[in-house]
Amino acid sequence: MSVDEVNLADIMEGRGATYRLLARLYREEVDQALLDEMCAMRYAVNTGNEDVDAGNRLFHSYLSAVWERTLTELSVDYTRVFLGNGVNAYSAAYPFESVHTSGKRLLMQDARDEILTIYRANNIEKLDSWKAGEDHIALELEFEELLTQRTLVALREGCEEEAASLLMTQYNFLLDHLISWTPMLFTEMEKFARTDFYRALALLTHGFLLTDRGILEELLADELAAGG
Amino acid sequence: MSRDEELFGFNVPFDPLDVKDEDDEDVEFIGLVERPDEDEGEVLSEPQLSPEESIQKLLESLPAQRKVLLAIVDFCREERSPGEVDEVTLELQKTNKSVYTPVLLRQMLEEAGALVYNEAVQPDEQEAGIEPEPEVEQVEGEEIQYLVVAKRPEGTWLSTAAALTIVDAEDPALRLRELLGVEPEYFGIFTHILDFCVEKPRTKQELNELVDDDPLLQQPRRYSGFFIDKLDGCSALAWKPGWQTTQIGIDLLAQLAETQSGVSSVKGGAPA
């Protein structure tokens, strides 16, 4: 690995926190506690990634106008963007990989089976309370967060090989899954969203995933070079 | 070529390879997986209503919330903060449990033209028509700048003239008389409850025992809550705690007693 370990822990914590926040935003509607938390956050605007900067600017402007109806407005927009009216397969930005990678935009297709295999290979099972498919973007983001936390533990315990292996799993998952299908989701989010909040979420997620790919490529430079 | 051949196209050679399977990739799916049109289609416009009509429409559509809605309008004769209106609304909802939050009630009132929200804008900014600059934070030793979310100054709610006209014209005594006239078969039940609650506040259980077994309430089945809601909506009953007849209800009972001792024309109908 080419980055010193002190920085590495900070990087892992930052990545984990971002994945956790994004997963939460996709998983369900914003509640008062999350809204308060987001209003107390700072939004970076010259990160070098245009989408991250644009997303953060939109989040900032939207959250600066928060008032008594914001929660309801966000709840309505979440439903409109991710659930839709259910009339057809184009009624919303369905947040499942299968929908965007199967010809007929159906749920529970090959992508979900692949995802399930990867989760099980990493000894991860979804909670019984989660009734939707495992290829929901919230679970895919949470998977990355979970592996980031495991990486952090491995680093603290001095298990560099284990940490590198975990990072490689994250990198492969990012490339093979999250980055491969989410651009289509983000385009549809832009189309269905009526609030800047969910437009910002699409931009920020897109920018962050690309940035994270860059980070992982830097961290795994030796391993990737050795792998050809 | 015979007539049959022309009608059914028997002269066209059948090619089994030309028959497309439903699972073919190039099949255009319609119905469940149809792509939506880009435009959202024609939107039927609703008839334009005056503010008074819109407010009346809202009140009629939510009869159980009428009292609360009017009380909010009455409270907002002066500019009130959202917190103040919340407090009053929640107090009213103690005896009027509802799925409608104070925020949602205000939204409905605003959409009907009964309330307006006045933003708290600094006069100099308002005059200049400028947006305040966002606060930017620069962390020492970092190149990245951060935007800090500023809390939006809290505005105030104010009732419109149209809404206040309706509140001022509100006559609970008249509404009570109308109620008794609209459902004359229950006249005796309404007055029985009012009479029972004059002396002291009564519990729901006491009122259940008072009327629930009445033969009149068996078909269609009614319970005391049905009558309490309506009398409460006319301000003839109030929660103290315990339901007690208000002055409006007492006045009506007195009027009925006078009528019965005089001409005795009131029998199962509303007083004149």
Count of pairs with CB atoms under 8 A, one residue in A, one in B:
66
| CA neighbor of A195 nearest in space, from A40, A47, A37, A78 | A78
Topology, domain B51-119+156-168: Arc Repressor Mutant, subunit A (1.10.10)
CA dihedral A101, A106, A107, A113 (to 10 degrees): -50
Q: Which residues of B touch A41 (CB under 8 A)?
A: 149
First vs last Cα of chain B: how many Å apart?
A: 89
pLDDT at A89: 80
CATH number assigned to the domain with residue range B171-261, chosen from the 4 options 2.130.10, 1.10.3470, 1.10.10, 1.10.287: 1.10.10
Pick the range with the lowest mean pLDDT from A18-27, A31-40, A54-63, A104-113: A104-113
pLDDT at A3: 52
Q: Residue B12: pLDDT band by 50, 70, 90 thresholds?
A: very low
Residue, of B138 and B60, whose pLDDT is higher: B60
Topology, domain A5-226: TorD-like (1.10.3480)
Integer Cα distance of B181 and A3 in angstroms? 84
pLDDT tens sequence across B78-129: 999 999 999 999 998 887 788 999 999 999 999 999 999 999 876 566 566 6
Interface test with A, best of B149, B154, B156 (most A CBs within 10 A): B149
Averaged pLDDT for residues B187-199: 95
The shortest C-alpha distance from B151 to chain A (Å) reads 6
Q: Where are the domains of chain B?
A: 51-119+156-168, 171-261
For A103, the closest chain B residue by CA position comes to B25
Integer Cα distance of B220 and B225 in angstroms? 14
Residue, of B271 and A137, whose pLDDT is higher: A137
| CA neighbor of B157 nearest in space, from B75, B98, B62 | B75
**Cβ contact, residue pair B144, A44, below 8 Å:** yes
**Cβ contact, residue pair A45, B143, below 8 Å:** no
Q: Which residues of B touch A67 (CB under 8 A)?
A: 152, 154-155
Task: Tokens for B257, please give them.
Answer: 């007693």
Opening angle at CA A39, ends A35 and A44, nearest 5: 125
pLDDT tens sequence across A142-198: 999 999 999 999 999 999 999 999 999 999 999 999 999 999 999 999 999 999 999
Pick the range with the lowest mean pLDDT from A86-90, A119-123, B57-61, B204-208: A86-90
Q: Is the pLDDT of residue B30 over 50?
A: no
Q: For the whole prediction, is pTM greater than 0.95?
A: no
Residue, of B33 and B85, whose pLDDT is higher: B85
pLDDT tens sequence across B139-155: 778 888 999 999 999 99
Q: Where are the domains of chain A?
A: 5-226
